[in-house]
């Protein structure tokens, strides 16, 4: 449901979540709160916190719909399994595969494939077993927990930044500095809910980069994350002025290259095994389309 209201004396002082719930046609307050956090509710053109009190003359605009239940079911989809035991598995996700079911993509995802392979995984059904995620067109390494204990231990390790993740990516142009750190809090883009942006009220995010190879009007870089925000590398590199090659959201697509989307690959993954406490480290090369693009840019 959509709405647009100018606040009068009667509603002045009302919390934004309470006001929108009153005018959202019976949609629950919890759903309205989630919509506010997702940037679907604007006050004078900007996202607001659910507790924000409205002032006389404020313009409130929203688009809120009741959530549709999404489930995940097993599917017989091939997986590139790098490592597996009775506690966890590490997979090399293909570019173009969505990590878990969501609105618009309810099957054919990595979680569907994992359930088809394992049968059952711990945690929320839609995100069963997932310790972290990758964007649809980002390829590479993901660790998946097979037991509740492993999911809890690896989840805490991820929050504490004990899991090492490195990415390889091709950026447009050549960064001025051969290595550096990009710092900028990330939140929903107020003008496009599909995008994220650097915002003062966003969640802290830190990305380290090193230029691995200079190419023709581009460069391949290695990225190391201190945080794991949605679209973090893509947002930070666009803010640096060097968006990832073929990124349709933060740069532009380029039909000359065989990439399905942004040139980004989760290259290395390292963590302590939650049961044996052994340090595990994995590395996988980027997919063929990425390597072909590299060769084209070297020519």
Percent of the chain at pLDDT above 70?
98
Percent of the chain at pLDDT above 90?
72
Instruction: Give the C-alpha separation, 267 to 55, whole Å.
Output: 49
Active-site residue (options: 135, 137, 189, 247): 135
Residue that is written with structure tokens 């915002």 in the block: 199
* Predicted pLDDT of residue 47: 84
Backbone angles phi, psi at 228, to 5 degrees: -130, 60
The third-level CATH classification (topology) of the domain covering 81-298 is Pseudouridine synthase (3.30.2350)
Mean pLDDT, range 52-73, rounded to an integer: 82
Mean pLDDT, range 111-123, rounded to an integer: 93
β-bridge mates for residue 46, sequence order: 43
DSSP secondary structure of 128-168: TTBSS---TT-EEEEEEESSHHHHHHHHHHHHTT-SEEEEE
More confident residue, 172 or 47: 172
Encode 182-205: b = buried (16+ Cβ within 10 Å), e = exposed.
Answer: bebbbbbbeeeeebbbbbeebeeb
In 3D space, the residue among 47, 50, 42, 51 whose CA is nearest the CA of residue 7 turns out to be: 42
Here the tokens at position 231 are: 């679209």
More confident residue, 216 or 39: 216
Averaged confidence pLDDT in the chain: 92
Active site residue 11: no
Q: List the chain domain ranges.
A: 2-63, 81-298
Helix axes 29-37 and 16-23, enclosed angle (nearest 10): 120
Report if pTM > 0.85. no
Mean pLDDT, range 107-131, rounded to an integer: 91
* Predicted pLDDT of residue 254: 94
Instruction: Give the C-alpha separation, 79 to 81, whole Å.
Output: 6
In CATH terms, 2-63 corresponds, of 2.60.40.10, 2.20.25.240, 3.40.50.2300, 3.10.290.10, to 3.10.290.10
257: pLDDT strictly greater than 70: yes
């Amino acid at each position: 449901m959509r709405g647009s209201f100018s606040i009068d004396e009667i509603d002045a002082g009302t919390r934004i979540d309470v006001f929108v719930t009153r005018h959202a046609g019976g949609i629950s307050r919890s759903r309205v709160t989630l919509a506010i956090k997702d940037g679907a509710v604007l006050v004078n053109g900007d996202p607001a916190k659910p507790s924000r009190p409205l002032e006389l003359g404020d313009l409130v605009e929203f688009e809120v719909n009741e959530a549709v239940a999404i489930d995940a079911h097993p599917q017989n989809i091939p997986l590139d399994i790098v490592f597996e035991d009775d506690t966890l598995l590490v997979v090399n996700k293909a570019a173009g595969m969505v990590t878990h079911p969501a609105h618009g993509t309810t099957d054919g995802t990595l979680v569907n494939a994992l359930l088809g392979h394992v049968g059952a995984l711990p945690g929320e059904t839609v995100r069963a077993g997932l310790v972290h995620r990758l964007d649809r067109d980002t390829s590479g390494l993901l660790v998946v927990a097979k037991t509740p204990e492993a999911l809890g231990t690896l989840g805490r390790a991820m929050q504490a930044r004990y899991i090492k993740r490195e990415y390889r990516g091709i950026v447009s142009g050549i960064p001025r500095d051969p290595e550096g750190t990009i710092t900028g809090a990330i939140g929903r883009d107020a003008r496009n809910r599909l995008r994220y942006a650097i915002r003062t009220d966003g969640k802290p995010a830190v990305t380290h980069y090193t230029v691995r190879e200079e190419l023709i009007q581009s460069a391949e870089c290695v990225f190391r994350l201190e945080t794991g925000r949605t679209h973090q590398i893509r947002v930070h590199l666009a803010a640096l002025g060097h968006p990832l090659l073929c990124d349709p959201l933060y740069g532009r697509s380029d039909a000359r290259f065989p990439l399905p989307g942004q040139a980004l690959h989760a290259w290395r993954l390292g963590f302590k095994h939650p049961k044996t406490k052994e340090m595990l480290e994995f590395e996988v090369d980027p997919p063929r389309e990425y390597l072909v693009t590299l060769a084209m840019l070297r020519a």
